[in-house]
Amino acid sequence: MQYYPFDSRDKLYKPHFGAVAAEESLRLRLLLHNDARVHNAYLSIERDGEAPMEILMQPAEQLEDYRFYDCSVSLGEGLYWYSFYYDSDYGRMFVTKTETSLGIVSNKGGKWQQTVYERDYKTPDWLKGGIIYQIFPDRFAASGKQKQDIPDDRFLQSDWSAQPAYLQNGEKRSLGNDYYGGDLLGVAEKLPYLKSLGINCIYFNPIFEAHSNHRYNTADYMKIDPLLGNEDDLTSLCEDAKKCGINIILDGVFSHTGHDSRYFNKDRRYGDGGAYNDFSSPYRSWFNFHRWPDKYSCWWGVPSLPETNENDPSFTDFITGENGVIRYWLKKGIKGWRLDVADELPDGIIDNIRKAMKAEDPDSYLLGEVWEDATNKISYGYRRRFLRGRQLDSVMDYPLAEGIIAFITGGDGDKLCETVMTILENYPLPAVHTLMNHIGSHDTARILTRLGTNEQGNRAWQSSRRLNDWELGLAKKRLLAAATLQYTLPGVPSLFYGDEAGVEGFGDPFCRATYPWGNEDNEILSFYQKLGNIRRNNTAFREGAFIPYICRLGIFSFIREDDNNRIFVAVNRWDGCDSIDLPEEFKSAEVLYGERQDGKAILPPFGAIIIKA
């Protein structure tokens, strides 16, 4: 039998898979053929940005014609990179990483990553095994209650089913100022519906006063937008939701405000004060003026979004202090925050946000928006430390989202398996169990649209483009397969409101259409309800291990297991039928979804099976 020199995912070489806690003993084993004529073998390991340490490995037992070389290390919190080398009769040879977890004898490969996190890193248990429901608050549900103090420059749409505006069309109605009247009381009315989906967490896009329908241009962090309701409505919603087993987290947009805010106040909506109008304003230090007042740093160069100076002591205290934004709304009943563009926030303010949250409520949840691997992300020239125990609880899992979509639309099972295993290898388990596993959000085209067509066009084209019958039929089949993976892989699935009802649409603003109450696609909806029931009633989905099974071409299958529960899942992304042999214990076990015959999983086009042993 042929062996590799090293495999970071095989317990033969690395008994502890994945990230480790600080000071925990980490054992690494190199396996070299006797013909290599090894004199000494070494581990070369370096903390990110520092000089490598060379550790002599001890000769250990034989395995056929191979010998192990062994060492153990204890590491402090940080990000590490390692490889191996050995001296032999043939000179110095290197063992480096391939594109997967395997090692080869070559000096041209890469290094393995080792994440080491703080020993007391803990994430909220209440979210594990749960389901997140993301709500764009203006578009989910409207109570019909009369609103008070609504600015007169907002266009209030009277037709709930009308398409969101996409043109700059005169002073009254322009991109971003059309509103449909969704509100907090409307969400409260729909709590029984959300409970039927198995939801235990609502994530709201911004709800604070702001002068656009998306509200990412905050005008007042201490006030609920009047179209959504008031502070009492939020408190009441939090209380009612908790009775249904649902917690609420809010979107925190701290990298910038709106230009039309009480802090910047360029348009003088809030009187004569504000950083733009008053050089002596207490808010002026919150912003980076190159030349006051008209030259200032903007978020991605957008003048209506002046960047905040997050390191300014006054701003930091306003957000994270004893009476700051973070703690104020936690006191009102919310259970956590999602940080918009977390990778654009400096470490200091994220550190302080976590401290404030955990001081107020140790069980609160801090989620970050990071589009890449959050364990090794570099932003603004330095390595980030989001998931090592002093900052975020977890992140939005974009790598998994793209991996699932790529597989469902024609990719290979082995590539999706590599994506999943890389996440599990790099991310600390506390973060893994609370990852936000979305496949669509307010920032992307609707998942049904993405799965039905790859055509592109300008906004005018997008406004009139709908999936035809064939595309819609294909997209629905693909969506059910994608949702099966989303709900059963490690992490917490996040459902973007309306995806379960068959809403389609391209990017902003078309992905932000209203929920189609009374016109849902009941086939998709009933499937999501079934998935929610399966997930919430099987403990393996909380913190269970992930064990790949058959992952090839158009088939992806795996087992999730904990001490009490073993679940088998297989998905076929082909447009033709397929089948695979089941592991022995699943050949006569309970089928939760799908079809089994003669000890095989029967997988129709874009079909799936879930079996409980």
Write a three-state SS string for 161-229: CCCCCCCCECCCECCCCEECCCCHHHHHHCHHHHHHCCCCEEEECCCEEECCCCCCCEEEEEEECCCCC
CA 535, distance to chain mean position in Å, is 18
Do strands 155-156 and 178-179 pair parallel, antiparallel, or not at all (unpaired)? parallel
Return the SS3 of 492: strand
- The DSSP 8-state label assigned to residue 552 in this structure reads E
Looking at residues 237-263, what average pLDDT do you find? 98
Compute the distance between CA of residue 364 and CA of residue 252 in angstroms, rounded to an integer: 14
Looking at residues 177-195, what average pLDDT do you find? 97
List of residues 6+ apart from 382 with CB closer than 8 A: none
Place 175 in a pLDDT band, splitting at 50, 70 and 90. low
Compute the distance between CA of residue 266 and CA of residue 76 in angstroms, rounded to an integer: 48
Mean pLDDT for all residues in the chain: 96
Compute the distance between CA of residue 229 and CA of residue 500 in angstroms, rounded to an integer: 26
CA angle, 413 as apex, 409 and 414 as ends, to 5°? 135
Whether 351 is a known active-site residue: answer no
Compute the distance between CA of residue 527 and CA of residue 348 in angstroms, rounded to an integer: 43
Catalytic residue among 209, 343, 369, 578: 369
CA 247, distance to chain mean position in Å, is 18
* Residue-wise DSSP of 85-132: EEEETTEEEEEEE-SSSBEEE-SSSB-EEEEEE-TT----GGGTT--E
Catalytic residue among 340, 344, 500, 504: 340
Instruction: Evaluate whether 185 touches 143 at the Cβ level (below 8 Å).
Output: yes
Place 170 in a pLDDT band, splitting at 50, 70 and 90. very low
CA atoms 399, 400, 405, 407: torsion sign:
positive
In this predicted structure, what is the pLDDT of residue 314?
A: 98
Taking alpha carbons only, the member of 468, 554, 456 closest to residue 504 is: 468
Whether 169 has a pLDDT exceeding 60, the answer reads no
Tokens linked to 122: 């803990």
Whether 174 has a pLDDT exceeding 60, the answer reads no
The 3-state secondary structure of 262-297 reads: CCCCCCCCCCCCCCCCCCCCCCHHHECEEECCCEEC
Mean pLDDT is lowest, of 20-24, 149-153, 351-355, 397-401, for 149-153
pLDDT digits (tens, 9 = 90+) for 117-167: 999 999 999 999 999 999 999 999 999 999 889 999 999 999 999 999 887
Compute the distance between CA of residue 21 and CA of residue 44 in angstroms, rounded to an integer: 20
Compute the distance between CA of residue 137 and CA of residue 114 in angstroms, rounded to an integer: 40
Q: What's the chain's Rg over C-alpha atoms?
A: 26
Backbone angles phi, psi at 126, to 5 degrees: -65, -25
Tell me which residue has tokens 């703080």.
118
Return the SS3 of 435: coil
The 3-state secondary structure of 388-400 reads: CCCCCCEEECHHH
Number of H helices, E strands in the chain: 14, 33
Instruction: Evaluate whether 214 touches 205 at the Cβ level (below 8 Å).
Output: yes
Compute the distance between CA of residue 549 and CA of residue 564 in angstroms, rounded to an integer: 20
Taking alpha carbons only, the member of 148, 234, 486 closest to residue 500 is: 486
Tokens linked to 133: 């429901």
CA 392, distance to chain mean position in Å, is 12
pLDDT digits (tens, 9 = 90+) for 583-611: 999 999 999 999 999 999 999 999 999 99
Tokens linked to 385: 């430390």
In this predicted structure, what is the pLDDT of residue 434?
A: 98
In this predicted structure, what is the pLDDT of residue 377?
A: 98
In this predicted structure, what is the pLDDT of residue 147?
A: 86
Compute the distance between CA of residue 400 and CA of residue 424 in angstroms, rounded to an integer: 11
Neighbours of 587 (CB within 10 A): 15
Compute the distance between CA of residue 106 and CA of residue 193 in angstroms, rounded to an integer: 57
Tell me which residue has tokens 């979509």.
405
Compute the distance between CA of residue 219 and CA of residue 92 in angstroms, rounded to an integer: 63
Backbone angles phi, psi at 571, to 5 degrees: -130, 135
Question: Of all residues in the chain, what percent carry a pLDDT higher than 70?
Answer: 99
Which neighbouring-strand residues pair with 46?
81
Q: How far apart are the first and last CA of the chain?
A: 33
Compute the distance between CA of residue 99 and CA of residue 81 in angstroms, rounded to an integer: 15
- Residues in the chain, overall count: 613
User: In the chain, what's the furthest Cα-to-Cα distance?
Assistant: 85
Whether 515 has a pLDDT exceeding 50, the answer reads yes
Whether 494 has a pLDDT exceeding 90, the answer reads yes
In this predicted structure, what is the pLDDT of residue 173?
A: 46
Rounded to the nearest 10°, the torsion over CA 411, 197, 132, 404 is: 0
Question: Of all residues in the chain, what percent carry a pLDDT higher than 90?
Answer: 96
Whether 340 is a known active-site residue: answer yes
Tell me which residue has tokens 């939005």.
396
Tell me which residue has tokens 């989303």.
486
pLDDT digits (tens, 9 = 90+) for 339-390: 999 999 999 999 999 999 999 999 999 999 999 999 999 999 999 999 999 9
